[in-house]
Amino acid sequence: MAFITKVQYQPGFTWKDNDARVFNLTSRFFHPSASIGLPFIKSKNPKVYTIYRIEAPIIGQSYPANKTLDAVGLGDIILLDAIVFKRTWGGLGIGPAFIIPTMKPETISSRKWSTGLVFVVLNKKTKGLQWGALLQQFFNFAGDSNKPNQNFMLLQPILTKIFVGGTFVQFSPTFNLNWSKNTFNIPVSISLGKTFAKNLSMQACPEYVVSGPNKGDFIIKFQINTMFLR
């Protein structure tokens, strides 16, 4: 939530049952603005500003047991617009969220236009320790009527321990709580990272889904953060 422009790349590889495999390369772009929600509404308080985030995943998947699911393409794009309230202990943010469907391939895209709310809180008061959470709730309002309705929450607890020298350990799995289907994907993960400079960090994260429709999935994720200090 810092007032920093950032580009993030996160490649991930998933091993699934029946020799199915999924590759996901997610790119995220963060851009802060001295505004309140919209670019033309200027903030007069330096401790209140907006962070815009766009997320675009490129997905390739192979299902030997069901070839109709094989596909490569651009997944649905997620836009977040969080108004940040900076505090001495850290900060919190809240704002609208949108999903723009890419429509094709059908096995990758939800084909539903969705909107919702993003809420984020991060506490940095304890030296060497950061904790908080990122919540995104979505529901569809338009799109392909043949596709199932969307009503789900992405909940990501965040706990980061920072060591001397820029090494850090992070616990930040993303829970997918699907209210429409009453299914809940619960992963566990732990990542190890290293900050190489003020504008570059990298981390690796093994993840295992312990409950839900994707139970048994094993994922390896890597993340590269590049920051442009303002």
pLDDT tens per residue across span 125-134: 988 899 999 9
Walk me through the domains of the chain, giving residue ranges and CATH numbers: 5-228 (2.40.160.40)
Please, are residues 196 and 224 in contact by the beta-carbon 8 Å criterion? no
| pLDDT value, residue 229 | 61
Q: What is the pLDDT of residue 230?
A: 56
β-sheet bridge partners, residue 209: 187
> Are the beta carbons of 192 and 206 closer than 8 angstroms?
no
pLDDT digit string (tens) for 148-204?
Answer: 999 999 999 999 999 988 999 999 999 999 999 999 999 999 999 999 877 899 999
Provide φ and ψ at 112, rounded to 5°: -130, 130
The whole model's pTM is what?
0.92
Tokens 């690796």 correspond to 204
- Residues near 207 by beta carbon (within 8 Å), at least 6 away in sequence: 173, 187, 188, 189, 218, 219, 220, 221
pLDDT in tens, 135-153: 999 999 999 999 999 999 9
pLDDT at residue 167, rounded to an integer = 95
Task: Compare 114 and 166 and report the one with higher pLDDT.
Answer: 114
Which of the four pLDDT bands, split at 50, 70 and 90, describes residue 104?
confident
